[in-house]
Amino acid sequence: MSAVADGSQEPMFQAWDVHKSFGHVEVLKGIDMSVARGEVVCLLGPSGSGKSTFLRCINHLEKFDRGEMWVGGDRVGYRPHGDKLKELNEREVAVRRSGIGMVFQGFNLFAHRTALENVMEGPMVVRREKRSIVERRARALLDRVGLADRVDNYPSQLSGGQQQRVAIARALAMQPDLMLFDEPTSALDPELVGDVLAVMRQLADDGMTMIVVTHELGFAREVADRVYFMDGGVVVESGPPAEVLERPREARTQAFLSKVLA
């Protein structure tokens, strides 16, 4: 599948001048970003720089105060109403979320459901699809993430790496247009990181549009089309990984990279 095959020139995701404060603390100070269909973008930056907050705004898990975000032609948080914009109600927010996959640092699998049931839950409850169809798709997805022999295990019986791959399959089951990853490998033992990154790499190769917050510079270098380096609520530097990671122009980027590589 090619990124430009559908001929659409419109970016999958766009953000202009996004601001967000918690109380008096401004955490996002005017973020601009653009992600084309099929593109993989990695978000790097020190802890506390606002990466998670930005990602959660895309998915309506947080509200932002100023600026605009667009996902696939829909304005985040609003819908057109005549010639005006109307704020989304709870039901509409849920519908928007269902088209965006999200993978969390802590997996957040439903502990009372098996791997298969975790993957089936969204399509069954949110989309009310037929069980037999959903089950076939869920088994295929678990097979794709290498867990065909683990479908009937509960999360407590799976390693962290396996849980994270179930979480990816759960997000994919909703057939999203955009996948958001918030440090998907940060909570994993080093020997389990590779399996999860391999699944993400495959997904990128299959043409999924992805925004990935990560500290895995190797992944960013090899898989990302572009990387954004954030610090203190602003984008300090962005561009192809070869430029930003190998020849950073900004002093803050250089300092961060030397710390991560050390």
Partner 1 sequence: MTSAPVTETPARPAFARDARVVLSTRHPARWAMAAVVLLVVAGGITQVIGNERFQWDVVGDYLFAQPILQGVARTLMLTAAAMAIGVGLGVVIAVLRLSPNPILSSAAWTYSWFFRGTPLLVQLLFWYFLAALYPTIGFGGASWSANELISPLTAALLGLGLNEAAYMSEIVRSGILSVPPGQAEAASAVGMRRSQVMRRVVLPQAMRVIIPPTGNETIGMLKHTALVLVIGYTELMTTASNIYSRTYQTIPLLIVAALWYLAISAVLSVGQYFIERHFGRGFSHHRVSRRASRAARKGEAVA
Ligand X SMILES: Nc1ncnc2c1ncn2[C@@H]1O[C@H](COP(=O)(O)OP(=O)(O)O)[C@@H](O)[C@H]1O
CB of 27 to Mg ion, least distance (A): 11
Residue 210 lies near partner 1 (rule: CB under 8 A): no
Residues 6+ apart with CB under 8 A from 48: none
The answer to whether 108 contacts partner 1 (rule: CB under 8 A) is yes
Instruction: Kindly provide the residue ranges of all beta strands, DSSP E only, lying in the chain, ordered along the sequence.
Output: 13-22, 25-35, 40-44, 66-71, 74-75, 78-81, 84-87, 100-103, 178-182, 209-213, 226-231, 234-239
End-to-end CA distance of the chain: 38
Q: Is 214 in the site for ligand X (CB under 6 A)?
A: no
CA–CA gap between residue 255 and residue 182 (Å, rounded): 22
Pairwise CA distance, residues 220 & 222, whole Å? 6
Stretch that binds partner 1, among 15-23, 78-86, 90-98, 196-204 (CB under 8 A): 90-98
State the minimum distance, in angstroms, from the CB of residue 44 to ligand X. 10
Q: Which is nearer to Mg ion, 52 or 253 (CB)?
A: 52
Q: Which of residues 40-99 bind ligand X (CB under 6 A)?
A: 45, 47-53
User: Would you give the binding string for partner 1 spanning residues 157-196, x where CB under 8 A is met?
Assistant: x---------x--xx--x----------------------
Number of residues that bind partner 1 (CB under 8 A): 40
CA distance 21 to 63: 10
**Buried/exposed code over 60-81 (b: 16+ C-beta within 10 A; e: otherwise):** bebebeebebbbbebebbeeee
Q: Are the beta carbons of 83 and 123 closer than 8 angstroms?
A: no
CB under 8 A: which stretch of 30-38, 69-77, 119-127, 228-236 binds partner 1? Answer: 119-127
Nearer to ligand X, 27 or 193 (CB): 27
Q: Which residues bind ligand X (CB under 6 A)?
A: 22, 27, 45, 47-53
Q: Which residues bind partner 1 (CB under 8 A)?
A: 59, 61, 90-91, 94-95, 97-102, 104, 106, 108-114, 121-122, 125-127, 139, 148-149, 151-157, 167, 170-171, 174
